Amino acid sequence: MGSNISEKTDALETTAMQSEWGIFGRPLFLDDQARALSRVGVVDVGSNSVRLVIFDGAARSPAYFYNEKILCALGAGLPETGHLNPKGRIRALNAIKRFQMLAQGMGIKALSAVATAAVREASDGPEFQNLVEQETGLQITVIDGKEEARLTAQGVLLGWPDAKGLVCDIGGSSMELAVVNDGRVGQCVTSPLAPLKLQAVKGGKKGLREHIAPIMAELAQTVGTDHKRIYLVGGSWRAIARIDMHRRGYPLHVLHEYRMSIKDINKTIQFIKENDLNAIKGATGTSSARMALVPLASEVLRKLVRTFKPNEICVSSYGIREGLLYEQMPENIRQRDPLIEACRLSEHNDARQPGFGKQLHNFIEPIFGKHSLAKRRIIRAACLLHDVSWRAHPDYRAEVCFDNATRANLGGLTHKERIYLGLALLHRYKNSRDNSTFAPLFSMLEEHEINEAEVLGKAMRFGSMFTSKNLANIAKITFKPRKKKLILSLSAEGRDLYGEVAQARFQSLANSLGAEMLIKKMRL
């Protein structure tokens, strides 16, 4: 199964394992530096949209406490007039007024506001900045194209700690490229290859392609073409990815970490050309304003993948706003695993017995033997989340667990890992997955992965029977895979807790492993 955590983490493993908190370190939400990053508000004044995002939760994997976007099209008509779209200015100002009032009501001390291509290029951009400050008190920082590329790439690093390749961010009036590798941002470059700019290009499709080609060639010369992966950021790319999902009948509708091949993209571009845009808009839930830009963005994407020839194209929901948050993170926080930090905070806030997830992990770990860090972090995440959905109705708890895991705002997870994690949590509350409404999603996993997730879920289901005590002192599991023996060692207290329900759950776990179960007296 794939992983988004760099192999460099393995080098820290031996030392980290000696700490009280294990290989993933002390939870960040207990750290003063991390708590200072909670409730951070960002306003992004783009060429096409104006958005407010308020982050909260685990600093390394923040949740979207509030997220609102208005499509103002500030950059519409800019190439012809040199000015911001007059109607867009009014809409943007009204949106920012609203955002400022919302932030004040939520206790945000100060919003960070940035503006990109439209405001920096328009002759009346400074006037608009001054107007916003006069009307709202909010100071907008206008950033240049290279800085926009750098911040966007940092946003990708927030969700993909081991991102390696080329980040491509398309906005309304500009497209940026940035090289990322080993947790750092390298070469950055900006270009005018964006839908609102391309609307002014004459000569139809031929003229458009002749306009795009030399600019893309120049970009390739600047950042190089030896990039095996491209990370797509921006509303137009996400719209195309959503259409690709629709065309393929892809069962998991989560855009972040969605992956496409060049072949997929070419088929989807052809699909867009051959089908009615209104019908596609309705089927994918794309706004009319966004759909109007999709054909132009498709031409840019077509040339992008033909020029750089990546092995894989990934969609990132994280971009410049997340990059601004990442900018404020100390290096020690940046180095942490976003998945584990988010799961720890969820356990801290929602579990009946916060802290038991760590005990549960240590208890069941012997069943899984020597796994890669990639697999071990998913097992740890499952243990941390094993009890956070207890408030759901018992008849639907298993389904709620699966749904939460697969659709939650969690960084550092591939789509397959989301399904694996969700399936393990489903089996935490339910032995069987027969007739599940989520069956189409299970097909994304290999058979051995499905079986392994079931074992993980049933191991957590059994281990949860001992939550009233210090688990390490009363029960221990040993698994001998070659002999197919699952051994449970119990103290005197453990034997009292090993009631009928616990026995049935242990038997179910043994059955999933194809193992004989044995009960022994624990040696203290």
pLDDT by residue, tens only, the chain of 524 residues:
344 443 344 433 333 333 444 545 555 555 555 555 567 899 999 999 999 999 886 567 777 889 999 999 999 999 999 999 999 999 999 999 999 999 999 988 888 999 999 999 999 999 999 999 999 999 999 999 999 999 999 999 998 888 999 999 999 999 999 999 998 999 999 999 999 999 999 999 999 999 999 999 999 999 999 999 999 999 999 999 999 999 999 999 999 999 999 999 999 999 999 999 999 999 999 999 999 999 999 999 999 999 999 999 999 999 999 998 888 888 888 888 889 988 988 998 899 999 999 999 999 999 998 778 888 999 999 999 999 999 999 999 999 999 989 988 788 899 999 999 999 999 999 999 998 999 999 999 999 999 999 999 999 999 999 987 789 999 999 999 999 999 999 999 999 999 999 999 999 999 999 999 999 998 86
β-sheet bridge partners, residue 233: 169
Contact 452, 421 (CB under 8 A): no
**How open is the CA angle 329-380-39, to the nearest 5 degrees?**
30
Distance CA 274, CA 280 (A): 11
Please name which of 296, 193, 192, 323 lies closest in space to residue 239, comparing C-alpha atoms.
296
DSSP state of 454: H
Contact 105, 65 (CB under 8 A): no
Distance CA 35, CA 29 (A): 6
DSSP state of 481: T
Q: Is 365 helix (H, G, I), strand (E, B) or coil?
A: helix
Distance CA 424, CA 383 (A): 10
- End-to-end alpha-carbon separation of the chain, Å? 37
pTM of the model: 0.88
Distance CA 463, CA 337 (A): 25
DSSP state of 194: S
Structure tokens at 502: 């616990």
- For the chain, counts of helices (H) and of strands (E): 26, 14
Q: Where in the chain is the domain with CATH 1.10.3210.10?
A: 338-521
Q: Where in the chain is the domain with CATH 3.30.420.150?
A: 146-322
**How open is the CA angle 71-77-81, to the nearest 5 degrees?**
140
Structure tokens at 286: 């794309």
Per the listing, tokens 């939400």 go with 29
Q: What is the 3-state secondary structure (H, E, C) of 59-126?
A: CCCCEEEEEEEEECCCCCCHHHHCCCCHHHHHHHHHHHHHHHHHHHHCCCCCEEEEECHHHHHCCCHH
Question: Would you say domain 38-142 falls under CATH 1.10.1740.10?
Answer: no
Question: Would you say domain 338-521 falls under CATH 1.10.3210.10?
Answer: yes
Number of neighbours of residue 421 by Cβ within 10 angstroms = 28
Domain 146-322 CATH class label? alpha beta
